Every structure is written in C-alpha cells, then in structure tokens.
Amino acid sequence: MVPERRKFLGAMIVTAGSAMMGGPLGTVPAMAVTPVREPEISPFAQPTRPLLVRRAVAALDAHGKHIQHRDLVGLVDFSKASREARFHLIDIEGGKLLSSHLVSHGSGSDPANSGWVQRFSNQYGSYASSNGAFLTGVAYRGKHGNSRRLIGLEDVNSAAMERGIVIHAASYVSDEMARTQGRVGRSQGCFAFSNNDIGAVLERLGEGRLLYAVK
C-alpha cells in the first residue's frame, strides 16, 4: 500500500519550478512549467518531529526495559477514520516512515459503526480497542491465519493477553471496503489488517518491539 504521508504528517509542501523558453525572433517567450513531485518527507523532519512520533519515542524510552528491539515501532493513529491508512511502521534508527496500512478498531470502540473510535476499554468482553504501549509477542497461526500476540505494558491495556488482543488479518479490512463504504469493518478489539498487508506487518513488526496506539 502506498503510504499516505500527507495525512500522517498533516502538511504538504508544494514547490514549483519554471523555465523561460525562448521563441522565434520577435515573439513573446513562452513559459515552460516543470511538473513538481512532492518531496520525500521524513516523520523525523526538522525542526521537530510530529507530536505522535514524539509520543511513540517517549513510550519506547519509558518501556525500554521490556522492549528488546528499538529499531522500529508500529504507531496507530486512532484519531483518524478507519478508511485511512492510520497504522504506520516507523524506522527509528533511520528516521523515516517505512509504510502505512489500514487497520481496524474494536466494535466496542465504535458502537454506531461510524468508522471513528469513540472510546477505549481494557475490560474483558468490551470488544473495544485499547490504547497505549504494547509489546509484540510470539507469532502463531490461529483461526485468522498468521497472527502475533500483544502484551499490554500500561494500566489502560494490561488485560490485552487475557482479552486475546492480537495482530491478525481479516476479510473486513480492505482498500475496496474503505473506498466504497467509507470505513473498514470492526474487530473485537484486535488490530486487524488486510490479507494483502498482514505478511509485511508481521515480518517487519517482529517479536520484542513496540506497538503504540493513541488518539
């Protein structure tokens, strides 16, 4: 999936290039406009990183004793609608955004199925998403295929293991659904990805890394 960097970074820098092209003698020179591509902007661009990235790095520092690998983090921006690619894989060491993906939220977080997170919960049976810092656990193959367990590192998500909150694929998450319905489907609190994206997410966000969810 192509990263939606303009939405993630909240700004688009547009520059324009032009050159004067001389015409025949006695004619007015014509203006030739060169198409300009949007520059590659890192989420670590100076002078300051975006707030959500700074919060993710702060969580990485706060829970460092539990996190074996600090090279890459998964950041979920639950302030965005589910039709947007709001899950971001960030290369901390390289200081760049690697990729962005669609991800579900729990039905208990969005009872009206609006596509927007209304609330979080850490309660068993709430079917809601939890926010905060998670440690990625072991990979396994379950009813949703290849999946990865998550361990909650904060009071707001401490029941993640008990609730079975994991990373997995789901048919109700897809580009087509986001485009045609304006939202993707809801999980029971898990971070569900499209079947096309789950392999890359599981491979890159391996065991012993940080997944940080925030609104």
The Cα–Cα gap between 184 and 200 comes to 19
Domain of 79: which CATH number? 2.40.440.10
> Distance of CA 175 to CAs 27, 109, 182, Å?
51, 21, 10
Q: Decide if 36 is inside a domain.
A: no
pLDDT in tens, 19-30: 333 343 344 344
Q: Is residue 119 part of a domain?
A: yes
pLDDT score of 195: 97
Which of these, 84, 15, 8, lies nearest to 53 by C-alpha position?
8
Q: Is residue 86 part of a domain?
A: yes
Q: Are 111 and 201 in contact (CB under 8 A)?
A: no
Contact by Cβ (8 Å): 129, 189 = yes
81 domain-assigned = yes
Q: What is the pLDDT of residue 23?
A: 40
pTM of the model: 0.79
Q: DSSP state, 214?
A: E
Q: How far is CA 143 from the centre of its chain?
A: 24
Residue 9 lies in a domain: no
Residues counted in the chain: 215
Domain total of the chain: 1
The answer to whether the bond into 50 is cis (omega within 30° of 0) is no
Q: What is the pLDDT of residue 48?
A: 64
Strand runs (DSSP E) across 63-209, as ranges? 72-77, 87-91, 96-101, 132-142, 145-152, 166-169, 191-193
Q: For residue 110, what are the domain limits?
A: 43-214
Average pLDDT over every residue of 63-77: 96
193 and 168 in contact (C-beta within 8 Å)? yes
Mean pLDDT of the chain: 85
The 10s digit of each residue's pLDDT in 34-65 is 444 444 556 666 566 788 899 999 999 999 99
Residue 77 domain flag: yes
In-domain check, residue 169: yes
Q: In what order do the strands lie in the sheet with 166-169?
A: 96-101, 87-91, 72-77, 210-214, 132-142, 145-152, 166-169, 191-193
Tokens representing residue 203 in the block: 């491979």
Flag whether 23 is in a domain. Answer: no
